[in-house]
Amino acid sequence: YSWRLICSFLPAVSPLELLQEPTISLSAHSNFFNDKFIDRNLLDDSYQNHPCLITYHVLKPFADENYVCFTRHEPVGVCGAITPWNFPLLMLIWKMAPALCCGNTLVVKPAEQTPLTSLHLGSLVKEAGFPPGVLNIVPGYGPTAGAALSMHPKVDKIAFTGSTEVGKLIKEAASKSNLKRVTLELGGKNPCIVCADADLDLAVDCAHQGVFFNQGQCCTAASRVFVEEQIYPEFVKRSVEYAKKRLVGDPFDFQTEQGPQIDQQQFDKILDLIESGKKEGAKLECGGLAMGDCGLFIKPTIFSEVTDNMRIAKEEIFGPVQPITKFKSLEEVIQRANNTEYGLTAAVFTKNLDRALTLASALQSGTVWINCYNSFFAQAPFGGFKMSGNGREL
């Protein structure tokens, strides 16, 4: 990451100039190690490499008037889509629409928790007159249906949205079968950085919606909030006021802001992480408990005085829990924000454009929002770095 930050400021010294003289020497080295005859190496090195270096140096295409060169975009073929339970319709359309528009066929394995959405959409596609076999919905469990799709030799690409652990298994299966292309959109532990000069009302609102939206069950959740120390007490105070007003209840009621968690396993995991925050010394500002005697409801929870070594600061919670910590300088918050195995999204709140762009360029995140959160645009690619996956969608 240091190179990407300084390369544009270095003198324009071309590698081409450095390679003009020692081409024969380099070709001899290549010949020694790969047994290619010297004339072939000279041809490869001088004819192939120099145009590439010229392109690098002067940023213009290298072309010959006797040739026509173009890139033809073709369908990948049979694509597999393995979709998550947290956004069953959005994630299906996210993968389906581009695949079908580009002439591919699609086999969808929806999450076992939410298969009916995909099946219903499949019936609508059939009713619309799509030919049989263009869109195929195959419900099932990950270790059976998902594994079969990932291993199948006639599937040309897998697009997966879900956990990092399962993403590793899918990539392994692809490598063991036909080296199919794989796009992975995985977990996140996303930093939300609030500078002292930020619009505080906006920052509090966006951070609140960023972590509590969809019961916190979002890979993009703002699950690490870094607040500059001058405004930290006020930010925490306003965040607690927001959380206490959040209406938890029946998801079919249009007034409800937060419904239940997806299942018992996720419910128990969230409560376990909340307990870890209490034991490790974070200050519980509100919530921290299940809500009611039935259902899988959890009160909106806020922790302050969170340190980076706590589980709630390191692990993806996927629930309605907002850890808030303070920082003193940009250098500090950049280092701490990047100190995670994930790199999906981030957000910066400041009125200073230079500060915003400095942070955006330094954060190891696939998407960085400035003075907003969860703002998606279909024309912008989406995906993460590190354990948040590889490849881009949209």
Please identify every residue annotated as catalytic.
185
What residues contact 325, with CB distance under 8 A and at least 6 apart?
224, 225, 226, 227, 304, 305, 306, 307, 308, 313
Q: Please tell me what DSSP assigns to residue 342.
A: E
Q: Are the CB atoms for 80 and 159 separated by under 8 Å?
A: yes
**C-alpha–C-alpha distance, residues 27 and 358, integer Å:** 42
* DSSP-assigned beta bridge partners for residue 283: 304
Task: Give the pairing type, strands 157-161 and 181-185.
Answer: parallel
Q: What is the DSSP letter of 261?
A: -
Q: In what order do the strands lie in the sheet with 191-194?
A: 283-286, 301-304, 321-327, 224-228, 191-194, 345-349, 367-370
CA-closest candidate to residue 344, choices 322, 310, 316, 320: 316
Q: Residue type at 85?
A: W
Place of tokens 């992480």: 273
The helix, strand and coil proportions of the chain, stated in percent and rounded to the nearest 5, come to: 45, 15, 40
The residue whose two tokens read 């500060």 is 355
CA count, 13 A, side-chain hemisphere, 265? 1
Q: How far is C-alpha 273 from the chain's CA centre?
A: 22
Residue 21 sits at φ, ψ, to 5 deg, of -75, -45
Q: Return the axis-axis angle of helices 330-338 and 353-362, rounded to nearest 10°.
A: 30
DSSP annotation string for 1-49 = -HHHHHGGGS----HHHHHSTTHHHHHHHHHHHH---HHHHHHIIIIII
How far is CA 54 from each of CA 8, 16, 17, 95, 383, rounded to the nearest angstrom? 17, 7, 10, 38, 32
d(CA 155, CA 254): 41
